[in-house]
Amino acid sequence: MVRADAQRNLAAVLQAAKEVFAESGVDAPVRAIAARAGVGVGTIYRHFPQRSDLVAAVFRREVDACAAAAPILAAELGPVDALASWLQRYTGFIATKRGLAAALHSGDPAFDPLPAYFAERLGPALESLLGAAVAAGEIRAGIDPIDLLHAVGNLTVPTPGNDGTHTQVMVELLVDGLRYGAGTH
């Protein structure tokens, strides 16, 4: 069993790495991550001997957090609102993923399992939200969760002068489009 302070340190390292990678790229000095996390460099290397281990861990952590949000939103909101909120949350994950993109597409075999991990965790999370919204008659049936994940990803491509509100508006329009034909089947 991992000690509570070690778990806190690990969580701090992953959060710091996410932030530093977003600001400076995945080649940022480990010293910068350690300083932000409030740990020694040795702590990072003890948990993540290779930089690719740290990058993959940040990716998995963000995927897991996004997937875990689905049942929480489903319990708190109505079906289509839970779906819309989760898709907005997913756009935040995409922003993190962009910071990792160069490394993830580097050809490093350490990243080979990550696309399957993404689909295995986020596909079912979104499928549950879609299913509830379809069952409630709020959106149309027949929407493939992975297709929808890719569609939202395409809507979040950065453009000059976009402060993020444009992405939110585009996702709202997409959700409105999912409502077309709801309850007719």
CB 63 within 8 A of CB 14: no
pLDDT score, position 7: 82
> For 51-179, which CATH superfamily applies?
Tetracycline Repressor, domain 2 (1.10.357.10)
pLDDT of residue 184: 61
Say what the pLDDT of residue 77 is: 96
pLDDT for position 154: 84
Q: Could you tell me which of 94, 103, 146, 99 has the C-alpha nearest to residue 123? A: 146
Domain boundaries of the chain, sorted by first residue: 1-49, 51-179
Residue 35 CB neighbour total at 10 angstroms: 14
What integer pLDDT is reported at residue 169 of this predicted model? Answer: 86
List, for residues 101-134, the tens digit of each pLDDT value. Answer: 777 777 788 888 888 898 899 999 999 999 999 9
pLDDT of residue 104: 72
How far is the C-alpha of 135 from the C-alpha of 132, rounded, in Å? Answer: 5
Euclidean distance between CA atoms 174 and 84, whole angstroms: 9
Rounded to an integer, what distance in angstroms lies between the CA atom of residue 138 and that of residue 178? Answer: 8
Stretches where the chain sits below pLDDT 50 are none
Where do we find the tokens 């295995």? Answer: 120
Give the rounded distance of the alpha carbon of 52 from its chain centre: 18
- For residue 125, the surrounding DSSP H or E stretch is helix 114-135
Residue in the block written with tokens 């409030």: 38
Topology of the domain comprising 1-49: Arc Repressor Mutant, subunit A (1.10.10)
Q: How far separated are the first and last CA of the chain, in Å rounded?
A: 51
- Alpha-carbon distance of 142 to 164, in angstroms, equals 29
pLDDT confidence of residue 123: 92
**In this predicted structure, what is the pLDDT of residue 132?**
96
